[in-house]
Amino acid sequence: MYRLTLSFARFVAGLLAVAALSLFPHLAAAQSGNPITIGFAMSLTGPLAANGKQSLLGMQIWEEEINAKGGLLGRPVKLVFYDDQTNPSTVPGIYTKLLDVDKVDLVIGPYATNMIAPAMPVVMQKGKVFIGLFGLAVNTEFKYPKYFAMIPSGPDPKPSFTKGFFDVAATQNPKPTTVAVVAADAEFANNACEGARTNAAKHGMRIVYDRRYPPATTDFAPIVRAIQAANPDIVAICSYPLDSVGMVRAVNELNYKPKMIGGAMVGLQATVFKNQLGPLLNGWVNYETWVPAKSMTFEGTDEFFKKYQAKAGAVGVDPLGYYLGGWGHAYISVLGDAIKATNSLDDNKLAEHIAKTEFKTIHGPIKFGPGGEWAQSGMLQVQYHSIKQGANVETWRGMDAQTVLTPDKYKTGTVIYPYEKAK
């Protein structure tokens, strides 16, 4: 009798399990098969870690979301990643390991120009589709048909970071006529400042100072004094996070007041640096890629940032995630949508689909054009202002301390000019 009862119980349990799986087919699919592995390097230590960690959390939120919906191709998705330590020399080895040892199904780019570029030869040799996160004009020399740039720089990437900066300056009365250009001697900064020279020439501005500084520079006072001696009307700076902070501090300490200053300074977008600098940022005009303006909120945007901000404290990342958290989600979602649409992991099929498709992301529709760059630019220039001592995360949650100056479709106000009026 006991055996009969036990057998009947097992039979009923089996029926219930089958019924449950029929009611939740996505759950059944996500729990079957080997995972689809997506490999990448990310800057989790070193100077770019504040941004790289945001990106990773955005990607992990996508991973959770996609697996909750049943995964892709009836399989769960698993991210496989290594810390590149913000060191370009580590990147080729990481991607070789991912492809030859870990044998991941697909790869996706690291963050930043200086990290993406050294990954390209490895990826190209293997013929893999490759979406890079915030790489400036990486494919200009490689011309790799399976590369796509998740960065809103658009079809003319090098000038895009400072285009709005020069456009705003050129509308002032009297129009500034001289400019200083200063860059970190690294790939991103050199590319961005090459674009700054193009923009200066377009507006008939004469360059009176044009220098590079070593990436390891820590004392920016001599550089600022040299710029001050050249007496330019405006100053375009192309820098990485720690130099950006150092440059802002040096300009304030020396009480240097050009008519306009900023341009292509990486790092000022991160909440940690904004909080450190506080009112020292007043008057600076610099690029951003997303701010919490109503015009830049799309389907899924608010929901994502609620998830991100709820998790940020526990994992020690940027509490808002506005600079790269959302973009981390967006660039891997493009790859995921392509897998879903092609029903394939074939790199050639994925690349062909990505090249011709407009993708819906939490940061709006994205379409790629020639060279894998965006078909249209979405780069912003923003001015920081009205920042008081004690600035904190709430200062940056909305738009009270920043004004979008360009492009016109996202514009929220006008520039305070000259710079000293915002101090």
Per-residue pLDDT of the chain (423 residues; tens, 9 = 90+): 333 333 333 333 343 333 333 333 444 333 468 999 999 999 999 989 989 999 999 999 999 999 999 999 999 999 999 999 999 999 999 999 999 999 999 999 999 999 999 999 999 999 999 999 999 999 999 999 999 999 999 999 999 999 999 999 999 999 999 999 999 999 999 999 999 999 999 999 999 999 999 999 999 999 999 999 999 999 999 999 999 999 999 999 999 999 999 999 999 999 999 999 999 999 999 999 999 999 999 999 999 999 999 999 999 999 999 999 999 999 999 999 999 999 999 999 999 999 999 999 999 999 999 999 999 999 999 999 999 999 999 999 999 999 999 999 999 999 999 999 999
CB 108 within 8 A of CB 38: yes
Structure tokens at 269: 């977008």
C-beta separation of 38 from 131 below 8 A: no
Domain locations in the chain?
30-152+296-372, 158-288+385-422
Report the distance separating Cα 321 and Cα 54, nearest Å. Answer: 6
CATH of domain 30-152+296-372: 3.40.50.2300
Q: How far is CA 132 from CA 311, 335, 344, in A?
A: 25, 11, 20
Which of 104, 22, 34, 39 is CA-nearest to residue 71? 34
Greatest Cα pair distance, the chain, in angstroms, is 99
Among all chains, which residue has been given the structure tokens 């050639």?
Answer: 348
Q: Are 141 and 335 in contact (CB under 8 A)?
A: no
pTM metric for this prediction? 0.87
Class of domain 158-288+385-422: alpha beta
- Grouping H, G, I as helix, E, B as strand and the rest as coil, residue 274 is helix
DSSP 65-111: HHHHTT-BTTB-EEEEEEE-TT-GGGHHHHHHIIIIIS--SEE---B
Chain centroid to CA 137: how far? 14
**Whole-Å CA distances, 161 to 151, 287, 417:** 11, 6, 20
Q: What is the tally of helices (H) and strands (E) in the chain?
A: 15, 14
Decide whether 30-152+296-372 matches 158-288+385-422 in CATH topology.
yes
